[in-house]
Amino acid sequence: MADHRRGQSQLRRAGLVGGACAILVPTLLAGGTAAASQTRATFSPTGLTRGAAAVPVSPKGDWITYGGAETRDSVQPDSASLRAIRLRWRSPKLDGPVYGEPLVYASRVEVATEANTVYALSASTGKLLWSRHLGVAVPASALPCGDISPTVGVTSTMVIDPSTGDLFVSAALMQGSTIHHQVIGLSAATGKVLWRRDVDRPGWDAAAQLQRTGLALAAGRVVVGFGGNYGDCGNYTGVVVGVPESGTGAIASYKVPTSREGAVWAPSGVSANAAGDVFFTTGNGAAKSASAFDEGDSVVELSPSFGRIGYFAPANWLQDNESDGDLGSTAPMLLPGGRALQVGKDGTAYLINTAQLGGIGHQLASAPACSSYGGGAYLAPFAYVACPGGTLEALRVGARSLIVAWKGPNGTGGSPTVAGGMVWEVDGGHLVGLSPKTGAQLASIATEPTEHFAAPSAGEGLLVVGTQSSVEAFEGAAGWRP
C-alpha cells in the first residue's frame, strides 16, 4: 500500500492528480536508471512560467518537505510577486526554537520545535489550529557535545505525503534515562498520532547520533539520515533508515562503512528521484590512507531496497577527511538531465552524473565556490549556493560545465529559496530578496532571530520563516490569495 501511496504522491505533485494536465514520460538513462521528464518553472521577464523539465511541484503551491521537493531545489513557481514584501502574521510564541523548514500544505503552516511539539497554524492568519506534544525532549546535558540547547527534540524538517495527508516527523525522546529516536506518523489535518516506530539501530550510541537532515519520501518509505552532534564527539557513524509510510513492516537501513564519523547531517536532507533511488552525502570519515576509502566525503546512491548503487567522491577526499572538510554540509541537489550539484565545506562545487556517479574523481565539472552549509536552490540555468555569513553565489550550470555567474551583497549567504520572481535568504535577522539574474538586492525586511541554517519556505503566496520562538509569514503587497 505504501508504494501505491507514494506513486500517487508523485503524480499529484507533478500535476497529474487533482491538478493541471501534464505528461510524465520515463526515460532510460545510461546505466539503466529511470528518470522522468517533468514540468518545472523557468524565468520570464515578468516572473515565473512553466517550461523546462525537472521536479514535480504541487499544483496548489504546497511546500511539503525541505526545498519543496525531494530533489531539494527550493523553487516555488506558484507564487505571485513578492517584491513589496511585508509581514502578514507572526504566530503565538512556541515552546522552543524551530530548526527545520516550516511546511505549507492545505492552507496550513506546520512546524516542529526542539521541545518536541508539532504545531499547525492557519496560513491566512497564523492562528493555532492544533498542536501535538510528542514526548520529553532530550536535555542538552545528556549529550556528549552539541550546540543545540536547552533540549534536543525535532531538529530536522518534516515531510508530508499530499496523497494521504500524512505528516511524518523524527524526534529525539528522553524516556527515563534512555535516549530514543522515533519516526512518528501524524494526520496533517488534525495532529492525531497514527503510529510510532523506534529507529535506533542495534549497537549504536543513541546519544552520539543526531538527526538533523531533512526527511524524504521514497518508494513508500520515510527516509531519515543520522550523523553526530556538533563537535564530532562520541562513537557515531552515518546511517540512513527507511520506515514504511504505513508504519508497519521492516525498517530498511544503510550504514556508511567507516569505523567512525561519515555523518549524514546536511539540514537540506537526503534526496530522492522519481524512481525511488535515495541520494545522500557524507561528512568526513575515519580513513587515514588513500587505500582505505570508507565513503567519507562522498555522494552515495541507494536503490529503493537500500542497496548501494554507486558513489562519487572528490579526488581530494582524503584531504577533506583529515581537515574536517565535509562534502556533506549540503544535500545533493538533483537537476534535470540526470545531473546533481554537490557543494561542501571545502569551497568546491561538483556537477555529477546521477546515472553513473563514477567513483573517485569522476565529476562532469567542478568550479570554485564558497564554504557552503545548509541548502541550495536551482532555477535554470542558475544554481544558488548558500554561503552562511558571506554572500550568496550563483553558478551557471551547463550540460558539463559550471561557471560562477555572480555573488550577492555581503551578509546575504543564507540558504536560498526562489519564489515571487526573486531569490530569498534569511541570515542575520533579515529576509532578503535578490535578483535571480544579477544578485542585486531588491527587497529586505527584518525577522525575529533565527537558528543557524534557517531557510524560508514558500507556499500559499507566502514566504514562511521559523525563528527561535515563533513562525513569521511574509507576503507581497498584492496580498494573500487563498
Q: What residue ranges define each of the domains in the chain, with the CATH number in brackets?
A: 2-475 (2.140.10.10)
Instruction: Give one word for 413, left, alpha or beta, with left for phi > 0 and alpha for psi -120 to 50.
Output: alpha
Q: What is the pLDDT of residues 45-72, one digit of tens each?
A: 223 322 232 333 333 589 999 999 999 9
C-alpha 173/C-alpha 238 separation (Å) is 20
Tens-of-pLDDT digits for all 482 residues of the chain?
333 333 333 333 333 333 333 222 223 233 333 333 233 333 222 233 222 323 333 335 899 999 999 999 999 988 888 988 999 999 999 999 999 999 999 999 999 999 999 999 999 999 999 999 999 999 999 999 999 999 999 999 999 999 999 999 999 999 999 999 999 999 999 999 999 999 999 999 999 999 999 999 999 999 999 999 999 999 999 999 999 999 999 999 999 999 999 999 999 999 999 999 999 999 999 999 999 999 999 999 999 999 999 999 999 999 998 998 899 999 999 999 999 999 999 999 999 999 999 999 999 999 999 999 999 999 999 999 999 989 999 999 999 999 999 999 999 999 999 999 999 999 889 999 999 999 999 999 999 999 989 999 999 999 999 999 999 999 997 644 43
Distance CA 56, CA 12 (A): 8
Model pTM? Answer: 0.87
Tell me what pLDDT residue 50 has.
26
Quick count: other Cβ atoms within 10 Å of Cβ 292?
Answer: 14
Q: Residue 122: helix, strand or coil by DSSP?
A: strand
Rg (CA), the chain: 20
**pLDDT recorded at residue 26:** 29
Predicted local confidence at residue 11, as pLDDT: 34
**Strand pairing class (108-112; 47-53):** unpaired
CB 245 within 8 A of CB 198: no
What's the pLDDT tens digit per position in 419-472?
999 999 998 899 999 999 999 999 999 999 999 899 999 999 999 999 999 999
Q: What pLDDT shows up at residue 478?
A: 60
Return the SS3 of 275: coil
> How far, in Å, CA of 177 to CA of 195, rounded?
23
Q: CA 124, 128, 133: angle at the middle one, nearest 5?
A: 140
The owner of cell 538513462 is 29
Peptide linkage before 381 cis (omega within 30 of 0): yes
